[in-house]
Amino acid sequence: MISPAEALAVPLLGALEERLRDRIVARAADVRVSEGEWFLFEGDPAAFWIVIEGEVEVNSDASGRLEQMTTFDPGEFFGEVPLMLGAASFRSCRALSPSRLMRLDRADFHMMVAESSEASAIIAQTVVRRVGLMSEKFVAESVNRAQLIGGQYDTLCHDLRDFLSRNQVPFEWLDSDDESDRSCIPEALLKGDRLPAVVIDAEHTLVQPDLRRLADALGLQTQPDSETYDVVIIGGGPAGLASAVYGGSEGLKTIMIEREAPGGQAGTSSRIENYLGFPGGISGGNLAHRALQQARRFGTEILVTREVAELRPVPGMHDIVLDGNQRIQTRAVVLATGVAWRTLTAKGVMDLIGRGVYFGASATEALETRGHAIFLVGGGNSAGQAAVFFSNYARAVTLLVRRDSLEATMSHYLIEQIRSKKNVHVELGVTVERAIGTSHLEAIVTRDADGAEQTRPAAGLFMFIGADAQTRWLPPGLERDARGYLLTGRSLETWAEKRRPFALETNIPGIFAAGDVRSDSVKRVASGVGEGSMVIAYVHQYLETLTHATA
């Protein structure tokens, strides 16, 4: 416990009446941390901290990479700003040398401020000073890590924008097709065929980089650190991310491999409203970002822009072949590869993908729809969510639905939300026949229930017409249902082992499946997260069977 002499040495505590100081000290925690140890993470419940011994540093990763904001010495305090705002901690802290800190919880901090006008005045002055410093820093320094320069309808530029936003890298986009942006673009980049380009940290310019080069330049991991793992998770959607968190936290040597950016389908969702614990909803990108931080904190390696090209089952130690023929080995595999969007088969659609025709409803596309008339195709919840989301950007949103009603395919709350939006129109019994455009989408041709065709100017066409499992690349011996989804546990028809299969195990021992790729799974974020978490328990049990077999 903090001694009276130690408390008196802290100016803030010294300003308290003795009785109040004793009460506060008796209620405070005496936290001891070793050098380099993290004791507070962004998003943790806010608390009030006073440094008693040692030195601590405060970090932020608002710019997409960890940066030291300030340090605190004995006698100094922090944490009061989020406490007063009723928010969670928005910084992470670690000790620079062996340190002791006094931690007060919210209620005790409130008691101290309410009962001591001296403490309240000291804290108020500090808050004013700190908020002033924060705003100076905000104005002086760009929060952007990258500047992307390229045209709106350039497909590589679109992919780069999508990649930056899905990896939560703060960036500025200068549209080379827009006169007002062109004046800010360096002449050298506008000459010749040098766009799109990405300027990282205002220092390095990458001309027409592929996603891997961009990821490397941003310091994202693209190479495995080892050659062997306890578990390799393939796919970084909600199921893969949950497995990554549980695998790392339960001490398994874990790597998650994602071919694009973490988040999967959920990463393209503007707002997930039904995920437990987020009463106001949460964007899929934000959810994925939080999960990533959590997985990394537990030591899981996360590879981005890497595709698993082949899985070669070998009893006890499976072979994983990454793109470029790079190999790693693993005792267990979690297949969390989800599903891939279906594309409209209408003429012209394939040629315009990324240039006005898109899947999903991510923030990347939202900005492009500002002030325009756009069309969405599909009658499910994802189409409904997107219609509500885009209504805040586009001038007019038309939802084209092949069926003659929404009730059977869309949740009631979404139908109500759509009805309340004046700029969203629903057309039932309508199909898209053609997409028209040369460098980008200009119009679509629709056909109504009576067979009448109409050509309509369109700035965007967004497809939400379902998805399919892509499992053809997996070993032929892996059991699938008629639609290619992976069979697991009790649904298996072929199983050669003496023991029974674990619930999420495929017919090849040690290869598990979780989330949307699994046959009969509930195609939702929560169920993907649930299966991704559960599967690690089965991986443990499976690894035990290997240990017994070799004992």
Ligand X SMILES: Cc1cc2nc3c(=O)[nH]c(=O)nc-3n(C[C@H](O)[C@H](O)[C@H](O)COP(=O)(O)OP(=O)(O)OC[C@H]3O[C@@H](n4cnc5c(N)ncnc54)[C@H](O)[C@@H]3O)c2cc1C
Asked if residues 236 and 285 have their Cβ atoms less than 8 Å apart, the reply is: no
Q: Helix, strand, or coil here: 432?
A: strand
In this complex, which beta carbon is closest to ligand X, that of residue 274 or of residue 405? 274
Least separation in angstroms between residue 338's CB and ligand X is 2
User: Is the Cα torsion angle 99, 105, 110, 112 positive or negative in sign?
Assistant: negative
Identify the DSSP state of 47.
Answer: -
In this complex, which beta carbon is closest to ligand X, that of residue 195 or of residue 257? 257
Least separation in angstroms between residue 400's CB and ligand X is 16
Least separation in angstroms between residue 125's CB and ligand X is 45
Least separation in angstroms between residue 351's CB and ligand X is 23
Least separation in angstroms between residue 395's CB and ligand X is 22
Cα-based torsion angle of the residue sequence 154, 160, 162, 163 in order, rounded to the nearest 10 degrees: 160
Residue number of the CB atom closest to ligand X: 338
Least separation in angstroms between residue 344's CB and ligand X is 15
In this complex, which beta carbon is closest to ligand X, that of residue 27 or of residue 327? 327
In this complex, which beta carbon is closest to ligand X, that of residue 91 or of residue 289? 289
Least separation in angstroms between residue 118's CB and ligand X is 50
In this complex, which beta carbon is closest to ligand X, that of residue 176 or of residue 305? 305
**Backbone dihedral region for residue 95 (phi beyond 0: left; psi -120 to 50: alpha; all else: beta):** beta
Q: Please tell me the distance from the alpha carbon of residue 489 to that of residue 228, in angstroms, as a whole number.
A: 26
Least separation in angstroms between residue 217's CB and ligand X is 21
In this complex, which beta carbon is closest to ligand X, that of residue 131 or of residue 526? 526
Identify the DSSP state of 518.
Answer: B
In this complex, which beta carbon is closest to ligand X, that of residue 199 or of residue 311? 311
Binding residues for ligand X (CB under 6 A) = 234-240, 257-260, 264-266, 268-269, 272-274, 307-308, 336-339, 360-361, 382, 385, 515-516, 523-526, 528
Burial 141-176 (b: 16+ CB within 10 A, else e): eeebbbbbbbbbbbebbbbbbbbbbbbbbebebbbb
In this complex, which beta carbon is closest to ligand X, that of residue 235 or of residue 510? 235
Q: Please tell me the distance from the alpha carbon of residue 189 to that of residue 170, in angstroms, as a whole number.
A: 21
Least separation in angstroms between residue 364's CB and ligand X is 13
Least separation in angstroms between residue 478's CB and ligand X is 13
Q: Please tell me the distance from the alpha carbon of residue 202 to that of residue 328, in angstroms, as a whole number.
A: 36
Q: Quick count: other Cβ atoms within 10 Å of Cβ 98?
A: 14
In this complex, which beta carbon is closest to ligand X, that of residue 33 or of residue 257? 257
In 237-305, at which residue ranges do the beta strands (DSSP E only) sit? 254-257, 301-303
Q: Please tell me the distance from the alpha carbon of residue 510 to that of residue 333, in angstroms, as a whole number.
A: 6
In this complex, which beta carbon is closest to ligand X, that of residue 260 or of residue 368? 260
Angle at 468 between CA 462 and CA 473, to 5 degrees: 125
In this complex, which beta carbon is closest to ligand X, that of residue 119 or of residue 303? 303
Give backbone dihedrals phi and psi of 111, rounded to 5 degrees, phi first.
-60, -45
Least separation in angstroms between residue 220's CB and ligand X is 15
Q: Please tell me the distance from the alpha carbon of residue 465 to that of residue 347, in angstroms, as a whole number.
A: 16
Q: Helix, strand, or coil here: 61?
A: coil
Give backbone dihedrals phi and psi of 412, rounded to 5 degrees, phi first.
-55, -40
Asked if residue 262 has a cis previous peptide bond (ω within 30° of 0), the answer is no
Helices (H), 9-73: 11-14, 18-27
In 45-98, at which residue ranges do the beta strands (DSSP E only) sit? 48-53, 56-60, 67-72, 77-78, 92-95
Q: Please tell me the distance from the alpha carbon of residue 305 to that of residue 265, in angstroms, as a whole number.
A: 16
